[in-house]
């Protein structure tokens, strides 16, 4: 049997396996069959980001869904967390998002949500894979009288905007606040400006003109440099950058400094503890979080629970610990009191609420955490052997760890969504951090590329 799902759905180059129209058709069929229930008119919400390949995959998915006797509800370009919300609020049986998140435009992907708005657990993804690779779905198809229909709804964006605004404290307003939004030419390009404007903010939008090929192109959460320049130039209070599908947030303070997910986590966790909304006094993060976050949480007397990389693992731990906040340094943050998944716009709203509550500029709030120098090098690889079986890589990592001691750390891992090895080093100085990271990366290149 093949393997389709990675750490965040199915992903690949559009029009190449597995992101082909034929595979999308089968994913639609398998998902529809899995969530179909007797005595009920089943329906699946289908949304996408702004990639040109979304048209091809959307039509194929809808064909598969309808062929299994399930209705498809199309909402067009919509942030991934928007699909999670609509699936739950419209009592749909499942939600499907066509997006490759922060990847370049030539990639695309498929993410699936349950009727409760949560990403599917491993066992459900395996069931979909089993159905697809068993090659017998034609035996499960209903009669012509029982085929599904496809509908488009026009008020999906408005419903989601109302939901977003309701996550911002009613006693506060954004009136008089100057905010610059980097929409990454992606799925937030309409929703985010409307949300912040309706809350009273003076909004300037950057990269909000998608053309199918410019999503994440030197913009968004992966490339916030221009946003930082504009914040200083326009004397804005805050800048926020989303990724292509709107589930990540990177912020910029009024001085043009870029804040990562760890910094936003620390700021919001501190405010939540003060107001009594930090349930069980715990913050969930991943092994990629900066050492500075651990030290800050310890100083604040907040417990830190650490998971593997991936927002789904953060969410699993949050639900197990009844935690109200968790996330990744990449900016994928989850506020479980407000939503079932990471939502860049909600994260930005909670950060703005923290600024209002503390009555301090973002640059002052950011001082709560000292971020250790960190270097990350991504290396495209041909294969992904177990790193512990490559002696040269094991040895160079060991040398770096011994020299850093308790003043730094090394993390080398494969990407769960791309053929890539990520080498991350943190250390006491930028010079040492870069040196050890480059040394490890050189060996990885030599052995795996």
- Written as six digits, the tokens of 425 are 């080093």
Question: Hunting for tokens 């990366």 — which residue is that?
Answer: 441
- Three-state SS across the chain? CCCCCECCEEEEECCCCCCCHHHHHHHHHHHHHHHCCCCCCCEEEEEECCCCCHHHHHHHHHHHHHHCCCEEEEEEECCHHHHHHHHHHCCCCEEEEECCCCCCCCEEEEEEEECCCCECCHHHHHHHHHHHHCCCHHHCCCCHHHCCCEEECCCHHHHHHHHHHCCCCCCCCCCCCEEEEECCCCCCCCHHHHHHHHCCCEEEEECCCCCCCCCCCCCHHHCCHHHHHHHHHCCCCEEEEECCCCCCEEEECCCCCEECHHHHHHHHHHHHHHHCCCHHHEEEEECCCCHHHHHHHHHCCCEEEEECCCHHHHHHHHHHHCCCEEECCCCCEEECCCCCCCCHHHHHHHHHHHHHHHCCCHHHHHHHCCCCCEEEEEEECCCCCCHHHCHHHHHHHHHHHHHHHHHCEEEEEECCCCCEEEEEEECCCHHHHHHHHHHHHHHHHHHHC
Residue 347 annotated among the catalytic residues of the structure: no
The Cα–Cα gap between 212 and 209 comes to: 9
Q: Which candidate in 101, 114, 205, 285 is catalytic?
A: 101
Burial (0-12, 13-18, 19+ Cβ within 10 Å), 358: middle
Please give the positions annotated as active site.
101
């Amino acid at each position: 049997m093949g393997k389709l799902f990675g750490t965040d759905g199915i992903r690949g180059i559009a029009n190449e396996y597995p992101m082909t129209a034929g595979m999308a058709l089968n994913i639609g069929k398998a998902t529809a069959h899995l969530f179909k229930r007797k005595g009920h008119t089943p329906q699946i919400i289908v949304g996408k980001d702004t990639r040109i390949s979304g048209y091809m995959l959307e039509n194929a998915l809808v064909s598969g869904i309808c062929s299994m006797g399930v209705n498809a509800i199309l909402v067009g370009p919509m942030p991934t967390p928007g699909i999670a919300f609509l699936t739950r609020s419209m009592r749909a049986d499942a939600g499907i998002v066509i997006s490759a998140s922060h990847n370049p435009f030539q990639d695309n992907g498929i993410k699936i949500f349950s009727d409760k708005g949560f990403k599917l657990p491993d066992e459900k993804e395996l069931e979909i894979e089993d159905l697809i690779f068993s090659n017998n779905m034609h035996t499960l198809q209903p009669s012509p009288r029982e085929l599904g229909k496809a509908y488009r709804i026009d008020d999906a964006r408005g419903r989601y905007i109302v939901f977003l605004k309701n996550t911002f404290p009613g006693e506060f307003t954004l009136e008089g606040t100057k905010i610059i939004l980097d929409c990454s030419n992606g799925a937030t390009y309409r929703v985010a400006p409307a949300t912040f404007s309706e809350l009273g903010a003076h909004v300037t939008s950057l990269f909000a003109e998608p053309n199918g090929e410019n999503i994440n192109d030197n913009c968004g959460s992966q490339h916030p440099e221009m946003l930082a320049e504009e914040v200083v130039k326009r004397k804005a209070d805050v800048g926020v950058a989303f990724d292509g599908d709107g589930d990540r947030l990177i912020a910029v303070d009024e001085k043009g400094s870029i804040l990562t997910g760890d910094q936003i986590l620390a700021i919001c966790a501190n405010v939540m503890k003060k107001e009594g909304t930090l349930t069980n006094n715990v913050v969930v993060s991943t092994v990629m979080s900066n050492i500075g976050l651990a030290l800050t949480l310890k100083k604040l007397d907040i417990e830190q629970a650490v998971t593997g990389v991936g927002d789904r693992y953060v969410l699993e731990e949050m639900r197990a610990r009844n935690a109200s906040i968790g996330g990744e340094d990449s900016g994928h943050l989850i506020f479980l009191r407000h939503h079932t998944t990471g939502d860049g716009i909600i994260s930005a709203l909670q950060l703005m609420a923290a600024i209002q509550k503390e009555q301090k500029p973002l640059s002052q709030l950011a001082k709560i955490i000292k971020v250790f120098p960190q270097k990350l090098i991504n290396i495209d690889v041909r294969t992904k052997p177990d790193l512990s079986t490559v002696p040269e890589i094991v040895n160079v990592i060991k040398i770096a760890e011994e020299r850093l001691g308790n003043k730094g750390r090394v993390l080398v891992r494969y990407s769960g969504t791309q053929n890539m090895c990520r080498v991350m080093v943190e250390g006491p100085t930028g010079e040492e951090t870069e040196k050890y990271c480059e040394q490890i990366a050189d060996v990885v290149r030599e052995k795996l590329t």
